[in-house]
Structure 1
Amino acid sequence: MSRSKFSLLYFLPLLLGFAACSPLDRVVVESPDGRYQFVLKIEEGVPFYTVEFDEQVIIERSALGLQTSDGKLLSENVSIASVDSREHDSRWEPVYGERAEYSEQYEEAIVELEIGGSAPDVLHFTIRSYNEGVAFRYESERGRAISREVTEFSLPEDPTLWVSQRAQSPIYETRLSALQDTVDRPLLAQLSDSLFVALGEAALVDFARGKLGRRPEAGILEIVLSSEVVYEDAFVSPWRTVMAGRTAGEILENNYLLLNLNEPNRIENTEWIQPGKVIREVTLTTQGGMACVDFAAKHRLQYIEFDAGWYGSEYDDASDATTVTVDPNRSKGPLDLPAVIEYAKSKDIGVLLYVNRRALEKQLDEVLPLLRSWGVKGVKYGFVQVGSQQWTDWLHQAVRQAAENELMIDIHDEYRPTGYSRTYPNLMTQEGIRGDEESPPNSMVLNTLFTRMMAGAGDHTNCYFAARVDEKMGSHASQLAKAVCIYSPWQFLYWYDRPEGSPTKAGGAGNSERHIQEVPELTFFDRLPTVWDDTRVLDGYPGSHAVIARRSGNTWYIGALNGETEREFVIPLEFLDPQKNYQATIFLDDESVDTRTNVRMEHVSVNARELIREKLGAQRGLAMIIRLEE
């Protein structure tokens, strides 16, 4: 269960710690470490803001406000009525995460904005400055219909951006001045050789998704809502976030800012929430299910997953997810799902099931308790509708409803996280990522790492023996490394791969990919945790290269990915205990190794003073396990 180990809240007198002009028209909120400074200012009745990081302007004068559906701008004739301020300093332990605990330290100002004119109004604007970034949101004590958010992000000069139109589309590099389309968040910008900025969204629960578009006449990014937003009662908007760092890796290390901006865990008993590794069962047969269970038990996996087709065609509204009725276009069966679930239980393996949104939307109340009664441990919500306020609200209600039935959730397709897993940690992971289903080369994965992964866990649907690894994606050592670099509490390691004993002609995906072979490097996946006590980004740049180190207990795991150019990787081991010696197992691509996967394993003694030097070819990778010497 999440819990605060130490919490310190100070409610300060009006404007203590903030700079103010006379009359009151300026509020300054600095981060506890002094690196960030958020300035809210009112000039001639118009609110705007700026952000500094290390005394450099990273957001220039940018507009704020909302527009209601009747055309009223809640950003005209504005004045500051009052400011309530506080400090917060705590640490909390997640149910699972990229760290064993997270720091949550910030300065906050809640600003009451009076809106004059013929119909006076009030809007509250909350500002938080953390050591990891700044965030702000709008709050109203009464209902409203909102057609537009006026929020802008004016980035200096004409920075380089890494953007994608949709959550699963290619991520590409462009200049702000050349941006034509509305793009997804988070968005990464490079302002100089040693200054990066990321724009994001946190705590999107029942609002409309906010993407980012460019105002052509000004070269300024602005929030573009995916639908009108209507509230009958009081509401708060999602947080808009601005993070900065001297490297993109510094921002990635601080991605827990989004978790901190969400409410604490609301699930009292979390013992049933269990991270783990997964193999997908692709044949939709009893024989295939049993083979996957045996493989999972042998190779220290925790789950098998039956994907689309177990209850009929996922695209047919007539398909009934309360029955086991195999889609004949995917498999000839037979599938005795209860028998597989019972066999899996005897081996301490959990079963996950995919359910398309068509069945969920009409059968959610019936399906969730039924699957729990079957002994299912979790559900992958498939092709959910996202973006609009209606479907955003529906989806998070479906996560809460799953928690009531003690079911863990993985969300398929376009959904991108905004930190809700802190509040409902049964939301284990989600796609919203250009994963292995799209056969991305390492260079694209490296774009994903420094953009999408700033938002939180990503289900990358890893595969290992699939032909696409050799033909399109890079290398097998890269696949090992990717499982360290791309964080997901549920780590799908064998998305297209079938274990021995699985039928070879069952229809669907079962025909198209290879059987798993017992190659020596599978020990890396066998040992790999999926959640961590510590995480370090040692090096990296979007599209180019990355080195990520993660610790579980006393053991460190390292993943290194290379892009399109041969590179010598120099990996310092300063994070190790300087008083102790360690044994490292290194996994490298080597075509001279006579296995299907051509991966070499090396064993070397190392300590905190060592440097690991390896030259990696284009689209190659390296993985490493470092354990205390016995």
Structure 2
Amino acid sequence: MKMKPLFILSLCCLCLQAFGEEYTYRLASPDKNLEVNISVGQKITYSVRHKDRVLLNASPIGLVFLDRTLGADAKVIRKKESSFTEDIQSPHYRVPSFTVTYNELDLKMKGNYGVVFRAYNEGMAYRFYTTMKDSVIVEDEIASFNFPENYTSYMAYSTAGVKSDQYAMAFQNTYTVSTVKEAEADNIAFLPITLDCGDEVKMTLLESDLESYPGMFIEKGNGESCSLKATFARYPKALERFPPRAMTKVVERSDYIAKAAGKRNYPWRIWAVTEKDTEMPVNNLVYALASPNRIGDCSWIKTGKVAWEWWNDWGISGVGFKAGINMDTYKHYIDFAAENGIEFVVLDEGWYNPAKGDMLAVIPELNLEELVRYGKSKGVDLILWTVFNVLDEQLEEACRKYSAMGISGFKVDFLDRDDQTAVEMACRIAEMTAKYRLTLDLHGFYKPTGMNRTYPNVINYESVFGMEEMKWSTVDRDMMEYDVTMPYIRMMAGPVDYTPGAMRNAAKRDFKPIYHNPMSQGTRCHQLAAYVVHDSPLTMLADNPTIYRKEQECTDFIVGMPNKGIDETRILQGKLGEFIVTARRTGSAWYVGGMTDWTPRSVTLDFSFLGEGTYDVILFRDGINADRQAEDYVKEAFSVTSTSRKNIWLAPGGGFAMSVVKR
């Protein structure tokens, strides 16, 4: 990363006399389209204007300590105004590097604290910092959001239930679309959330650089006003272990949210502002605002595709052995991966006895060292599933053992919270696994907050309503709508381990949840498109080797679509909640994927994004009967240039995927 100070800004500082001394500061984005107005006096507030519209009315911020509130009766003792350009290296991200420019206002307050505001062309952010000698107890954080209109909101609510600890759940839910005033009064939503401000302008609330502090949730504001406010999990006071996975759960919470060092930075609170829906999936503010790489050399980090057994329930057939968690089954998955150039096989739950909570003891049915050797001989690495607290309790010993054995990384599951101790555990695990050159795929985990920049060995996150939900969800859980909503909102925070690749596909009328032989909602080509649409440096093939071999044409296409070495990502077309068309470039080759909700539609693909010359296209699109038989597809081959156009029909729940390779 290179940070280049450009010049000192001349910001507008207005001294006003009303109800005591109050100062107002104005901070504009480099392109002048975004303006943040900050007021400091009896309280600190900020508002956001985009072009000629106020998007956010004056909204108070603060930190509540035991003895005082930072932000109350605030007095600026120093202001620093700067402008920067940052060149950011982003390994295993949607682009290998990118540049951001921003203007910054640092307001140092009387009382050993301050607030930094930044205005980007893509949005704004602020964070508190403190410079105190002694540690503090943070009782709460003040962050209200007052809107000038009753915006339409897109929020994913806690699934814990109103009578449970709402802060403890897997961060997996579909989006509820309602006005701000209609937000659920008895539930909390996890980030990101999006507000539709009209005229295609949207605001998305995110956070970044979350360390040793609880994550932000959102709840309905007070009264009938158009407002929302932040809420945070209280600090765990007591935890207990629960079967069947020896998971630790919070059974009692304190009356404060964090124990904090006196000198520290607090997380960034971000409003990403987009003028078109196609800007949303490629907004980089969460990554840009995270702390830079702390692990140094990243050349050892390996990403790619994964043959995975849990979703398909070890569902191979036509073999001469009993399928299950045993040597023959895993060697079969390794053979399948090797045949198809798939880099990894995951050993999911069951390779150690989860009830005992000891991941150093492998079950007798498996010889893990032999499996590692077998995989290495065929160019396939192994990833081991485990539970967060189980790994944390044996952290260095487990990392040392399995790194020496040749394991590539861990798929860590069931954190299911983001209070301060959970966030500290995640950072502790990321640091230790990096020391032993192990990668992490984080499941049952809170939304990304930039940890993949700070610890690039974090190569994927769940925190998504992914394919596993199809094993137990009815068609009323509209996966097709979610699939064309999630990339716009959730992917702004970071990559997704959605686990696509179902080869059993169902039209809406035929879908049913089946745990052991699961199917997908929507068409075969919708599944293929996911391998392009999703930011996913580590991507599962969720179905079983038997069915993939029977569907070798689709399998070849899936493994041929790259999810590493991406040079460029563009969203060519789309509308939040309706459809999306994504293009990714590796070298001179392009890969394009599109998907729709349950509404059939035609899209006209304009190839003007191509360079000079002729390109050969392989297209998988919905067949004419895909609305009735969702596995129906057509494979086409043709050539195009940058002046070509192609009309493609998408069935209900449909999609398409293509490779575009320069001749």
Q: Quick check: TM above 0.5?
A: yes
**Which ranges of 4 or more aligned residues in structure 1 deviate by more than 3 Å?**
466-470
Partner of 2:449: 418
SS at match of 2:114: strand
1:118-165, CA deviations, whole angstroms, 9 ceiling, x for partnerless residues?
xxx232000111222111000011232112111122223111111111
The CA deviation at 1:319 is 3.6
- Closer, same or farther in 2 for the Cα pair 1:50/1:596, shift >3 Å? closer
Question: Counterparts in 2 of 1:23-102, with a 5 A limit?
Answer: 25-43=23-41, 45-70=42-67, 72-102=68-98
The CA deviation at 1:74 is 2.1
**Counterparts of 1:592 and 1:160 in 2: how far apart (Å)?**
36
SS at match of 2:653: coil
Residue range with higher mean Cα deviation, 16-25 or 522-531 = 16-25
SS at match of 2:12: coil
SS at match of 2:617: strand
**Counterparts of 1:468 and 1:17 in 2: how far apart (Å)?**
60
The CA deviation at 1:10 is 4.5
Instruction: Report if the CA contact (8 A) 2:64-2:70 is conserved.
Output: yes
Q: Are residue 202 (structure 1) and residue 208 (structure 2) matched?
A: yes
Match of 1:573 among 607, 619, 642: 607
SS at match of 2:278: helix
**Counterparts of 1:341 and 1:597 in 2: how far apart (Å)?**
36
- Closer, same or farther in 2 for the Cα pair 1:267/1:362, shift >3 Å? closer
The CA deviation at 1:396 is 1.0
> What letter is aligned with 2:12?
A
SS at match of 1:403: helix
Residue range with higher mean Cα deviation, 394-403 or 140-149 = 140-149
Q: How many residues align?
A: 586
**Counterparts of 1:205 and 1:73 in 2: how far apart (Å)?**
21
SS at match of 1:25: strand
The CA deviation at 1:89 is 1.0
> What letter is aligned with 1:186?
P
Q: Are residue 303 (structure 1) and residue 344 (structure 2) matched?
A: yes
Q: Are residue 626 (structure 1) and residue 660 (structure 2) matched?
A: yes
Q: Which residues of structure 2 form unaligned runs of 5+?
A: 17-21, 159-170, 235-256, 315-323, 471-477, 512-519
**Counterparts of 1:204 and 1:618 in 2: how far apart (Å)?**
39
Instruction: Report if the CA contact (8 A) 1:380-1:411 is conserved.
Output: yes
**Counterparts of 1:232 and 1:426 in 2: how far apart (Å)?**
27
**Counterparts of 2:388 and 2:95 in 1: how far apart (Å)?**
32
**Counterparts of 1:107 and 1:596 in 2: how far apart (Å)?**
50
Partner of 1:487: 535
**Counterparts of 2:177 and 2:278 in 1: how far apart (Å)?**
17
**Counterparts of 2:112 and 2:3 in 1: how far apart (Å)?**
31
Instruction: Report if the CA contact (8 A) 2:590-2:660 is conserved.
Output: yes
Instruction: Report if the CA contact (8 A) 1:156-1:191 is conserved.
Output: no
**Counterparts of 2:145 and 2:178 in 1: how far apart (Å)?**
17
**Counterparts of 2:608 and 2:211 in 1: how far apart (Å)?**
40
The CA deviation at 1:592 is 6.5
Partner of 1:280: 308
For the aligned residue pairs, the C-alpha RMSD in angstroms reads 2.0
The CA deviation at 1:468 is 6.7
> What letter is aligned with 1:413?
G
> What letter is aligned with 1:441?
M
Instruction: Report if the CA contact (8 A) 1:465-1:516 is conserved.
Output: no
> What letter is aligned with 1:435?
G
The CA deviation at 1:561 is 0.5
Instruction: Report if the CA contact (8 A) 2:501-2:528 is conserved.
Output: no
**Counterparts of 1:173 and 1:550 in 2: how far apart (Å)?**
29
1:214-256, CA deviations, whole angstroms, 9 ceiling, x for partnerless residues?
21313311111122111143121110001111222212221x1
> What letter is aligned with 1:324?
V
Partner of 1:260: 288
Partner of 1:21: 14
Residue range with higher mean Cα deviation, 300-309 or 52-61 = 52-61
1:464-490, CA deviations, whole angstroms, 9 ceiling, x for partnerless residues?
224678735101100010111111100
**Counterparts of 1:541 and 1:348 in 2: how far apart (Å)?**
41
The CA deviation at 1:613 is 0.8
The CA deviation at 1:361 is 3.4
Instruction: Report if the CA contact (8 A) 2:7-2:83 is conserved.
Output: yes
Q: Are residue 527 (structure 1) and residue 568 (structure 2) matched?
A: no
Match of 1:149 among 116, 141, 152: 141
Partner of 1:128: 118
1:478-535, CA deviations, whole angstroms, 9 ceiling, x for partnerless residues?
001011111110011x22x2224xxxxxxxxxxxxx5642431222112111131111
Partner of 2:370: 339
The CA deviation at 1:95 is 2.0
1:419-471, CA deviations, whole angstroms, 9 ceiling, x for partnerless residues?
11111100000100000001263211112112111111010022322467873
Instruction: Report if the CA contact (8 A) 1:92-1:102 is conserved.
Output: yes
Partner of 2:399: 368
> What letter is aligned with 1:572?
D
Q: Are residue 237 (structure 1) and residue 266 (structure 2) matched?
A: yes
SS at match of 1:78: coil
Identity of aligned residues (%): 24
SS at match of 2:100: strand
**Counterparts of 1:106 and 1:237 in 2: how far apart (Å)?**
19
Q: Are residue 165 (structure 1) and residue 211 (structure 2) matched?
A: no
Question: Counterparts in 2 of 1:528-567, with a 5 A limit?
Answer: 528-531=561-564, 532-567=566-601
Residue range with higher mean Cα deviation, 243-252 or 233-242 = 243-252
Partner of 2:100: 104
**Counterparts of 2:552 and 2:625 in 1: how far apart (Å)?**
14
Match of 2:494 among 431, 443, 456: 456
The CA deviation at 1:7 is 3.6
**Counterparts of 2:70 and 2:88 in 1: how far apart (Å)?**
36
- Closer, same or farther in 2 for the Cα pair 1:396/1:130, shift >3 Å? same
> What letter is aligned with 2:228?
L
**Counterparts of 2:567 and 2:172 in 1: how far apart (Å)?**
29
Instruction: Report if the CA contact (8 A) 1:521-1:601 is conserved.
Output: no
The CA deviation at 1:385 is 4.3
**Counterparts of 1:151 and 1:232 in 2: how far apart (Å)?**
21
Q: Are residue 582 (structure 1) and residue 615 (structure 2) matched?
A: yes
The CA deviation at 1:596 is 9.8
SS at match of 2:127: strand
> What letter is aligned with 1:22?
C
**Counterparts of 1:596 and 1:52 in 2: how far apart (Å)?**
46
Instruction: Report if the CA contact (8 A) 2:307-2:333 is conserved.
Output: yes
Q: Which residues of structure 1 form unaligned runs of 5+?
A: 115-120, 327-333, 501-513
